[in-house]
Amino acid sequence: MSPLQPWSTEAINLPDHADNLIHTDEGARAAGFERALVAGTTVYAYMTHPVVAAWGVEWLASGGGELRLRRPVFDGEQVDCTVNKIPTDDPDGGSERGDVTVTAEVGGEPRAGLEVWRSVDAPALRHGEALSPVEVVLDQTHLDYGQRAGDDLGLYAEQRIAHPVTWANLANTVFKENLVTGPWIHVRSRIFHEGVAPIGATIRAEAWLVERFDSRAGERALVDMRMYADGRPVVTVEHEAIIVLP
């Protein structure tokens, strides 16, 4: 595998996320922000660029990572994806897990972090309260999300496969259809890839509410999910969000 390289782009607030008012100027200001927040999943898409550029389909099929969203990114800000390696004797870049971190910075300030795992096994699901499943057929919007957001990798179009941001976006859809009624904020995800999904496949996301709790930032929810492409497991996700803002 090739080493990861830093990469930069201008943040774009895609209209795909306008149903969450935090991604509109009016809704963001009502929640105490200066203007619309760029979706955390879009920031995640940016951070996957150095990973996929270096590790390709192998990471998309069997790797993963832990995403932590620390501070908002706003439309038009330059996002610099920096790469830090944990010291290792492995010439390919490190151990199976936690060998590389990608940080999304704006003006040198960290806004989000992604601990990248080269190869992982999906953990066992914690079956709490069952939530309503979500089904979607993968189409062009799942292939070109990255390009529309500013990620210029051509691999997805060449392979006709879904961009990895698809799984975080579908996790958000589970939250929207089950847990939220107003503005809300995605804060953390652990994503374990189990295979790639071709455009045209039917995705079914099954989910369980693991925990719902209060915090200083508002009421939070933690949900475990397993997603299938035409019945074949493709990803397991642990997703956390502030579902009721103060």
* Band of residue 94 on the pLDDT scale cut at 50, 70, 90: very low
- The CATH number assigned to the domain holding 218 equals 3.10.129.10
Domain that holds residue 36: 7-244
Q: From CA 5, how far away is CA 84, in angstroms rounded?
A: 10
* Band of residue 90 on the pLDDT scale cut at 50, 70, 90: low
Split into its structural domains, the chain has a count of: 1
- Contact assessment for residue 134 and residue 206, using Cβ atoms and an 8 Å cutoff: no
Whole-number pLDDT of residue 93? 44
The mean pLDDT value of the chain amounts to 91
Name the amino acid, one letter, at 87.
P
Please indicate whether residue 88 or residue 6 has the higher confidence score (pLDDT): 6
Q: From CA 71, how far away is CA 189, in angstroms rounded?
A: 15
Is 1 a member of any domain?
no
Q: From CA 79, how far away is CA 109, in angstroms rounded?
A: 10
Tokens of 63: 């790797």
Q: From CA 186, how far away is CA 37, in angstroms rounded?
A: 11
Closest to 213 measured CA to CA, from 179, 236, 237: 179
Q: From CA 162, how far away is CA 140, in angstroms rounded?
A: 9
Please indicate whether residue 199 or residue 92 has the higher confidence score (pLDDT): 199
Is 2 a member of any domain?
no
Closest to 226 measured CA to CA, from 187, 190, 185: 190
Is 216 a member of any domain?
yes
